[in-house]
């Protein structure tokens, strides 16, 4: 009984000493709270794709701060406690420097996109500016200034604490920290008010410790999935039953981003934001189609369905996009040189499906990689689509025809980051939509500017191939809802609503291509432009258009084939539910093709 009592006393004394040390040696906790508060303030200022609040961020990191502050108190010797505390402070300071750099260079927070840079064996796909070796001297110096500021405030707080006792001790302990946090809220509230309300990716809500836990699980899963899918793609058996002999030519597929025909002048919107496309349509060089829907409402899955041979029928039966070969695999098989040229991120959770698909191409290029590191360090936001122009290819490449996929940033929010300042043509006063609030009109004007810029981008790509034998297909991955979903009236972003699924779809054929391939030209020009189509039929359609016959064909999904049969209304599977594309809405005046 006496031994048991002695053990209880030892435990009580041990706990008492821990509490005593924690109370009288508070500098580590004070420093960490100050440092992470500065980080929390920096996030909405520099990372425009962040939607969490400073309050949520601080609440999220408090358990981490508590554990780190408590850890040194378990040791009796003061020198050991100081070494451990200094080591923890150093680790957090280094993490702060790295995270501050990521925020400043456009990487946002530590996320799967960042972690995947360290787990990528292909240098051409690595965004070095997001890695430790990409940290700039300017960002190091600026973050060190913040760290020194936090150390100075910590010193002042500790000095006040050591001079006071009792309730005065508590007040002097808390007041500087509370004052600093209240000041932070005032700054953060002003910054946060400028962030669009629709951004909701989960990693931009999480504090540091929450984010590390969540992304570690996702990274492990994505790595396993990527390896499994790559192996599956290698095992597909593709047989070519028929392939017409054609003169050397280019097949170029331009994939836009977040563009919907509802807001394009060539499809009936009153603002003249597609002058180049209007001109091409007027001269009948560009063939537009009016009743086209994306197979899904976000980029990753929409492109996966677009660039593999799966269809909605098979998807509804429980099959997955990776159960079918990719479009580049077919072009590889028939002797084309396959090339992926992209202005989107090479690796992240958001493009994991796309990563598996572009890896089936023979060559890849990404604007956001080492090739452009110097420019991105000085101006990280300027990754405009025009930077792809020098990377466009021509046939012949090693005596092969070219199949090239050009993946644009297009019209993805934040819209002001999608075009140079000289394209800032429209403002809120140009938007004549009475249903919109003033702030909604400004956002709409920015979207219209991005459409105007995209119109020029597409026309320049077409111009690049106009003097060669080339066929160019343009379509967007998906559309957006822009304040017109009755269930989400304030929403302007990806959305499983029919307005978020409608997409533009154009075909261009150079004069030389039409002359050398009259069978293809006849199919394209004879098709009714109002023919309903869903983008998951693109792979079937493009291979069939070129007269290539394979063991994977399904002609009823190939839009230019006489056997094509797309029943109405079009149906888009989404998490076990079906999204209906209402044809009566599609045929009204606001969605019909302009007459030139």
- When pLDDT is cut at 50, 70 and 90, the band that residue 378 belongs to is very low
**Arithmetic mean of pLDDT, 449-464:** 98
Which tens digits make up the pLDDT trace of 285-336? 999 999 999 999 999 999 999 999 998 788 878 899 999 999 999 999 999 9
CB atoms within 10 A of CB 442: 16
What is the pLDDT at residue 128? 67
What is the pLDDT at residue 405? 98
What is the pLDDT at residue 6? 66
pLDDT at 209 > cutoff 60: no
What is the pLDDT at residue 320? 92
Per-residue b or e along 396-420, where b marks 16 or more CB atoms closer than 10 Å to that residue's CB: ebeebbbbbbbbbbbbbbebbbbbe
CB 539 within 8 A of CB 330: yes
CA 371, CA 159: separation in Å to the nearest integer? 51
What is the pLDDT at residue 207? 53
Consecutive H or E run containing 289: strand 286-289
* Residue 522 vs residue 580, higher pLDDT: 522
What is the pLDDT at residue 196? 37
* Residue 64 vs residue 187, higher pLDDT: 64
What is the pLDDT at residue 29? 81
CA quadruple 434, 437, 439, 440: dihedral sign: negative
What is the pLDDT at residue 126? 57
What is the pLDDT at residue 421? 92
What is the pLDDT at residue 280? 97
CA distances from 570 to 75, 160, 295, 591 (A): 68, 70, 10, 16
Query: Residue 572 pairs with which residues in a beta bridge?
Result: 579
**Arithmetic mean of pLDDT, 326-348:** 93
What is the pLDDT at residue 117? 65
What is the pLDDT at residue 157? 72
What is the pLDDT at residue 189? 44
Which tens digits make up the pLDDT trace of 12-28? 777 777 777 777 777 88
DSSP 8-class letter at 250: E
**Arithmetic mean of pLDDT, 218-222:** 73
What is the pLDDT at residue 1? 52
What is the pLDDT at residue 184? 46
pLDDT at 342 > cutoff 60: yes
Query: Residue 395 pairs with which residues in a beta bridge?
Result: none
Average pLDDT of the chain to the nearest whole number: 81
CA 482, CA 113: separation in Å to the nearest integer? 27
CA 430, CA 451: separation in Å to the nearest integer? 14
- When pLDDT is cut at 50, 70 and 90, the band that residue 201 belongs to is very low
| Range of 52-61, 197-206, 483-492, 535-544 with top mean pLDDT | 535-544
Q: What is the DSSP string of 65-111?
A: HHHHHHGGGG-S-HHHHHHHHHHHHHHHHHHHHHHHHHHHTT--SS-
DSSP 8-class letter at 495: -
What is the pLDDT at residue 592? 38
CB 373 within 8 A of CB 128: yes
Q: What length does the chain have?
A: 596
CB 370 within 8 A of CB 337: no
pTM of the model: 0.75
CA distances from 54 to 40, 45, 58, 191 (A): 6, 12, 6, 11
- When pLDDT is cut at 50, 70 and 90, the band that residue 53 belongs to is low
- When pLDDT is cut at 50, 70 and 90, the band that residue 192 belongs to is very low
* Residue 223 vs residue 513, higher pLDDT: 513
* Residue 496 vs residue 133, higher pLDDT: 496
* Residue 136 vs residue 529, higher pLDDT: 529
Instruction: List the structure tokens of 317.
Output: 């039966």
Which tens digits make up the pLDDT trace of 114-149? 666 666 555 555 566 677 777 888 888 888 888 888
CA 494, CA 500: separation in Å to the nearest integer? 6
Q: Reduced to 3 states, what is the DSSP secondary structure of residue 474?
A: strand
Q: What's the CA angle centered on 567, arms 564 and 572, to 5 degrees?
A: 110
Please choose, from the candidates 114, 196, 130, the residue with its C-alpha nearest in 3D space to the C-alpha of residue 416.
196
Q: Reduced to 3 states, what is the DSSP secondary structure of residue 471?
A: strand
* Residue 42 vs residue 336, higher pLDDT: 336
CA 165, CA 167: separation in Å to the nearest integer? 6
What is the pLDDT at residue 188? 41
- When pLDDT is cut at 50, 70 and 90, the band that residue 246 belongs to is very high
Residue 308 φ/ψ, nearest 5 degrees: -130, 170
What is the pLDDT at residue 396? 77
CA quadruple 323, 328, 332, 333: dihedral sign: positive
CA 368, CA 409: separation in Å to the nearest integer? 11
* Residue 432 vs residue 580, higher pLDDT: 432
CA distances from 100 to 89, 128, 294, 440, 551 (A): 16, 16, 37, 31, 53
| 3-state percent helix, strand, coil for the chain, nearest multiple of 5 | 55, 10, 35
CA 447, CA 453: separation in Å to the nearest integer? 10
* Residue 149 vs residue 543, higher pLDDT: 543
Share of the chain above pLDDT 90, in %: 44
- When pLDDT is cut at 50, 70 and 90, the band that residue 239 belongs to is very high
Q: How far is CA 173 from the centre of its chain?
A: 43
Q: What is the DSSP string of 170-230?
A: HHHHHHHHHHHHHHHHHHHHHHHTTS-TT---GGGT--HHHHHHHHHHHHHHHHHHHHHHH
- When pLDDT is cut at 50, 70 and 90, the band that residue 580 belongs to is confident
What is the pLDDT at residue 269? 94
Residues 6+ apart with CB under 8 A from 63: 209
Q: What is the largest CA-CA distance in the chain?
A: 103
What is the pLDDT at residue 582? 72
Residues 6+ apart with CB under 8 A from 70: 18, 22
CA 293, CA 500: separation in Å to the nearest integer? 9
- When pLDDT is cut at 50, 70 and 90, the band that residue 376 belongs to is very low
CA quadruple 150, 152, 156, 162: dihedral sign: positive
CA quadruple 458, 462, 465, 467: dihedral sign: negative
Which tens digits make up the pLDDT trace of 547-565? 999 999 999 999 999 999 8
Which tens digits make up the pLDDT trace of 404-448? 999 999 999 889 989 999 999 999 999 999 889 888 999 999 999
CA 204, CA 199: separation in Å to the nearest integer? 9
What is the pLDDT at residue 48? 44
Q: How far is CA 102 from the centre of its chain?
A: 16
Which tens digits make up the pLDDT trace of 63-115? 777 788 888 888 888 889 889 989 999 998 998 888 888 777 665 666 666 66
């Amino acid at each position: 009984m006496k031994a048991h009592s002695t053990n209880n006393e030892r435990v009580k004394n041990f706990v008492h000493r821990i509490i005593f040390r924690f109370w009288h040696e508070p500098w580590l906790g004070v420093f960490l709270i100050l440092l992470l508060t500065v980080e929390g303030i920096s996030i909405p200022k520099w990372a425009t794709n962040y939607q969490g609040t400073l309050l949520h961020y601080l609440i999220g990191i408090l358990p981490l701060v508590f554990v780190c502050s408590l850890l040194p108190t378990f040791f009796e010797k003061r020198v050991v406690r100081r070494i451990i505390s200094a080591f923890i402070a150093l680790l957090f300071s280094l993490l702060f420097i790295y995270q501050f750099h990521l925020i400043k260079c456009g990487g946002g927070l530590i996320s799967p996109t960042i972690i995947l840079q360290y787990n990528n064996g292909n240098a051409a796909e690595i965004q070095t500016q997001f890695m430790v070796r990409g940290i700039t001297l300017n960002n190091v110096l600026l973050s060190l200034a913040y760290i020194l500021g936090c150390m100075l405030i910590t010193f002042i707080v500790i000095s006040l604490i050591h001079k006071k006792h009792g309730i005065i001790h508590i007040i002097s302990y808390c007041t500087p920290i509370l004052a600093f946090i209240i000041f932070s809220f005032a700054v953060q509230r002003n910054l946060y008010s400028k962030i669009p309300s629709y951004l909701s990716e989960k990693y931009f809500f999480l504090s540091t410790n929450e984010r590390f836990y969540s992304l570690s699980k996702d990274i492990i899963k994505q790595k396993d999935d990527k390896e499994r899918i790559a192996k599956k793609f290698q095992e597909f058996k593709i047989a070519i039953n028929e392939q017409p002999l054609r003169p050397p030519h280019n097949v170029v597929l331009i994939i836009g981003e977040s563009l919907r025909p509802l807001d394009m002048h060539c499809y009936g919107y009153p603002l003249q934001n597609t002058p180049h496309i209007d001109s091409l349509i007027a001269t009948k060089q560009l063939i537009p189609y009016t009743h086209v829907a994306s197979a899904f409402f976000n980029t990753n899955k929409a492109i996966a369905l677009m660039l593999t041979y799966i269809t909605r029928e098979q998807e509804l039966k429980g099959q997955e996009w990776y159960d079918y070969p990719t479009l580049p695999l077919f072009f590889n098989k028939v002797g084309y040189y396959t090339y992926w040229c992209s202005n989107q991120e090479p690796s992240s959770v958001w493009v994991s499906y796309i990563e598996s698909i572009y890896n089936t191409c023979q060559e890849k290029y990404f604007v956001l990689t080492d090739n452009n590191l110097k420019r991105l360090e000085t101006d990280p936001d300027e990754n405009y689509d025009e930077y792809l122009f020098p990377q466009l290819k021509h046939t012949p490449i090693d005596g092969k025809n070219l199949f090239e996929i050009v993946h644009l940033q297009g019209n993805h929010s934040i819209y002001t980051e999608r075009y140079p300042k000289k394209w800032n043509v429209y403002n809120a006063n140009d938007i004549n939509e009475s249903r919109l609030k003033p702030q909604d009109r400004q956002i709409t004007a920015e979207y219209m500017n991005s459409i105007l810029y995209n119109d020029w981008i597409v026309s320049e790509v077409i111009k690049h191939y106009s003097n060669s034998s080339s066929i160019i297909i343009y379509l967007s991955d998906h559309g957006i809802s822009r304040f017109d979903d009755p269930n989400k009236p304030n929403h302007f972003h990806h959305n499983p609503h029919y307005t978020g699924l409608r997409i533009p779809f154009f075909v261009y054929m150079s004069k030389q291509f039409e002359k050398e391939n009259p069978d293809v030209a006849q199919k394209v020009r004879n098709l009714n432009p109002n023919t309903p189509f869903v983008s998951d039929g693109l792979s079937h359609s493009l291979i069939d258009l070129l007269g290539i016959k394979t063991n994977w064909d399904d002609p009823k999904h190939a839009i230019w084939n006489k056997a094509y049969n797309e029943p109405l209304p079009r149906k888009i599977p989404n998490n076990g539910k079906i999204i209906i594309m209402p044809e009566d809405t599609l045929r009204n005046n606001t969605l019909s093709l302009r007459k030139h």
